[in-house]
Amino acid sequence: MTYSSDLPLAGLVVLDMSQFLSGPYATLRLQDLGARVIKIERPGAGDLSRTLYLSDTEIGGDSTIFHAINRGKESLAVDLKNPDDLTRLKRLIAKADVLVQNFRPGVIERIGLDYETVCAINPKIVYGSISGYGEEGPWVKRPGQDLLAQARSGVMWLSGNDGDGPVPMGLAVGDMFAGAALAQGLLAGLVKRGLTGEGCHVQTSLLEALVDFQFEVLTTYLNDGQRMPKRSGFRSAHAYLAAPYGVYEAKDGFIAIAMTPIPRLQELMELDALTPYADDPGSWFTSRDEIKKIIASAIAAKTVAEWQSLFEPEDIWCSPVLDWDELMESEGFSVLDMLQRVEREDNVSILTTSSPIRVDGVRPTIKRAAPSVGEHTVRILEEFGL
């Protein structure tokens, strides 16, 4: 198996002991940048996300979500309750550069692969841990699952309209942002190791990542008398931003309008009904529902293209709201070349996304699909002399 030697992390070996999304997302980013990622999986069942289905689509016996987040990785089957397997894994740890785990706090210590133990085996290793809510406090033993972390983070009160109740985000943002934060920390740890020869322990959690995700609005809240955010009651798109910020229904679709002075919209759209608000910027927030309803009524009378042709030459920030079919058909998406097909020897073939990062102008790609459980066990044991 060959690895690209011109990517920044080429030559690094990453052991991925994590499951589901957060840890595997972090190691996916490292792999996209050239690292070799070896998944440590239970014999037989493997990563629990192999059976985490978003739909009834199954490819090669595994869920599409597993394929999406584990493309290009290798799989080493290890029974952590088997002393011989554990000994072999420790020998591999001695030769690795990075280890990532997202067991519940306390579990990795019982296994005997906590940071202190691993550091004694390999002082240069950069060790990454993701938990649900940190390693201390009353929530430590609670399930570290994305929806539950969103529920505790306050983020659910930022989406939807006023009066809707809490609205969860439609993606596993806690997992994704925790994975991204860990990847950043691991890269910093590798820089430190390059400078000092010493590894380190990088830690984050779903809750910490979600709090950081809200840093902009939380800073406003903390320094504004701790006033709770109030969502717009009509076409809300941001709890803290004034009209016209929102999404509006046109004759044939939807158009998003971002930060725009009300007098400019009044003039361009010829809306006399906006006159009472035009010279009163404070009202753009306090009366934002009324303003947005006036704008919405006008937007509904024309097509998205008609509004674009009016707004864009005047530098009004707007965009059509695309669904996935429209995104895939657009030239703007096509030119990014962000899709790739990955394959496996047992006829598994899946179209998935590529890395969002480009290095020297080139987007890294990988042709290998996610591995079957233990697919590379024999070769890895032989290669590393385990």
Rounded to 10 degrees, what is the CA torsion of 291, 296, 297, 303? 150
* Cis ω for the linkage preceding 276 (within 30 of 0): no
CB 213 within 8 A of CB 204: no
User: pTM, whole model, 2 decimals?
Assistant: 0.91
Task: Extract the tokens encoding 111.
Answer: 């296994």
Rounded to 10 degrees, what is the CA torsion of 91, 92, 94, 100? -130
Task: Extract the tokens encoding 48.
Answer: 């629990």
* Of 5, 203, 200, 208, the residue nearest 98 (C-alpha): 200
Q: Give the Cα separation of 142 and 124 in Å (integer).
A: 32
Burial of 283 (0-12, 13-18, 19+ CB in 10 A): middle
Q: Which domains does the chain have, with CATH numbers?
A: 13-213+335-383 (3.40.50.10540), 254-320 (no CATH)
Question: What are the pLDDT tens digits along the chain (386 aa)?
Answer: 445 578 999 999 999 999 999 999 999 999 999 999 999 999 998 999 999 877 778 888 899 999 999 999 999 999 999 999 999 999 999 999 999 999 988 999 999 999 999 999 999 999 999 999 999 899 999 999 999 999 999 999 999 999 999 999 999 999 999 999 999 999 999 999 999 999 999 999 999 999 999 999 999 999 999 999 999 999 999 999 999 999 999 999 999 999 999 999 999 999 999 999 999 999 999 999 999 999 999 999 999 999 999 999 999 999 999 999 999 999 999 999 999 999 999 999 999 999 999 998 999 998 999 999 999 999 999 999 98
Task: Extract the tokens encoding 363.
Answer: 């987007």
CA 25 to chain centre: 7
Q: Give the Cα separation of 21 and 69 in Å (integer).
A: 7
